[in-house]
Structure 1
Amino acid sequence: MPLVIGLTGTIAAGKSTVAQLLVERGAIHCDADKLVHRLYDPGTPGFDRVVEAFGTDVVGADGFVDRKVLGAKVFGKPEEMTKLTTAMGSITDAIHAEIDRWRAELPDDAVAVMEAVNLMEPGYARWCDQTWLIAVDDDTARHRLVETRGMSEEEVTQRLKSMVPRDVRAPGADWVYDNVGGREALEDAVAGEYERIYGMHMAGEPLTSVFEPWWEKFLERRREQLKAAGVPAPEMAR
């Protein structure tokens, strides 16, 4: 079976750049956000449920859900995020089906990358052989978001508040890279880790992952927090 890498990271950390570097090495890539967006394309039940839950103002002039408007309604608001997850439908099934397809169709020497902002917390990384976390400190992220993406300070604050902190996620990742250096340093780091695990994969050596033990503990803590807040638990991977 192919080697499946789960790729995640904090906002503006550079995970999409890492994904592109892996594609340049021949990897198959799927952006989970795009899978999720299809769940509420016009004409789908998810579209109708999202509009019913959040109002017609989330629909843009092109007839599609305006993700910027929708994001402003849910980021940093656990109850609203849970409502969105319920409205969209089974994100879990969409991601799991794609990884299952890779396992069934790709050759043993292939590498596939599932890139997702929320790869770890819902448990999707359980279906990956290795989990990579690309991280950056909040100050650097804020600068990148304001300067390169044109976000307002308020938008940036909402996005950062919605992120699980790096230090919480790091123990559940098999490789953590703090992307605060230049492009060359990032390329060298990615190349080194890729070559290491791909070499093990091709040699038939087992690639153990630290994710599942971390996730079980994270899930237990999250359920306790949500229960205390009176918020229904979101969908988790099965």
Structure 2
Amino acid sequence: MAHTTFLAGGIASGKSTVARLLHDRGAWLCDLDQVSREVLEAGSPVLESIASEFGDDLVDRDTGELNRGELAARAFATPEDTARLEAIEMPAIRERLAAILTSSSCSGAEPKLTIVEVPLLDRVEDLLPLADDVLVVTAPLALRRKRAVGRGMTGEDFDARAARQPSDEYLRAHATHVIENDGDAAALEAAVGTWWLEVMGE
């Protein structure tokens, strides 16, 4: 079974770039957002439970599709509501992710490394036992904001998104390894190479 690394980082930290660099080295990428979407597909038992808990109007009567934006508005309104959603969703996500990570058919040849991209690490603490290690990509908040604005995001949008994400302190506390992405592209690639050598031994 491949070595499994959970990859986390705040918005505009460079997490996606690190994922691409690792993919270039042969890692197989698994997006936890996609896993979440799969367990909430039309007609799934999880979707039915969520509709029962948060409102049948969340599901389009014609297509059976979930209104994710409205679910987020309701489920993240209070910590209690968030806990209710996670109690329904997380067991199914864990089961699905475990099946993916233990399946030999996830790629043509079994990879040496599987990278699971984790949008919000604090939402998936229950899944951490599935990982061999946790790699966190960090950068100063001001630099991340500058990068995001440079890509077309408004400063206000960045601030709102960043405020909803785990702090760097939280990420560092749960990390096995940390890559500081406060330099240029060459420095980031070198840091990824150092991590690869340390963890994969090559």
Name the CA distance, whole Å, in 2 between partners of 1:149 and 1:57.
31
The SS at the match of 1:17 is: helix
Gap change, CA 1:17 and 1:194, over 3 Å in 2: same
Amino acid at match of 1:135: T
Q: Which has the higher contact order (CA 8 A, sep 6+)?
A: 2
Tell me what 1:67 maps to. Answer: 68
Amino acid at match of 1:34: Q
Name the CA distance, whole Å, in 1 between partners of 2:60 and 2:141.
31
Q: Counterparts of 1:63-142 in structure 2 under 5 Å?
A: 64-75=65-76, 77-88=78-89, 90=91, 91-101=93-103, 110-119=112-121, 122-142=125-145
RMSD: 3.5
Tell me what 1:168 maps to. Answer: 170
Tell me the percent identity: 25
Amino acid at match of 1:194: W
Name the CA distance, whole Å, in 1 between partners of 2:187 and 2:61.
40
Give the stretch that moved more between structures: 123-132 or 22-31: 123-132
What's the CA shift string for 1:172-195, capped at 9, x where partnerless? 312112323222221111112112
In structure 2, the gaps of 5 or more residues are: none
Name the CA distance, whole Å, in 2 between partners of 1:61 and 1:139.
45
Give the stretch that moved more between structures: 143-152 or 78-87: 143-152
TM-score normalised to the size of structure 2? Answer: 0.77
Amino acid at match of 1:37: R
The SS at the match of 2:5 is: strand
Amino acid at match of 2:86: T
What's the CA shift string for 1:27-55, capped at 9, x where partnerless? 11111111111111111122233344156
TM-score normalised to the size of structure 1? Answer: 0.67
Name the CA distance, whole Å, in 1 between partners of 2:47 and 2:94.
17
The SS at the match of 1:26 is: coil
Amino acid at match of 2:82: M
Name the CA distance, whole Å, in 1 between partners of 2:90 and 2:98.
14
* CA deviation after TM superposition for structure 1 residue 14, in Å: 2.1
Quick check: 1:96–1:124 contact (8 Å CA) kept in 2? no
Amino acid at match of 2:89: M
In structure 1, the gaps of 5 or more residues are: 201-238
Gap change, CA 1:109 and 1:30, over 3 Å in 2: closer
* CA deviation after TM superposition for structure 1 residue 89, in Å: 5.4
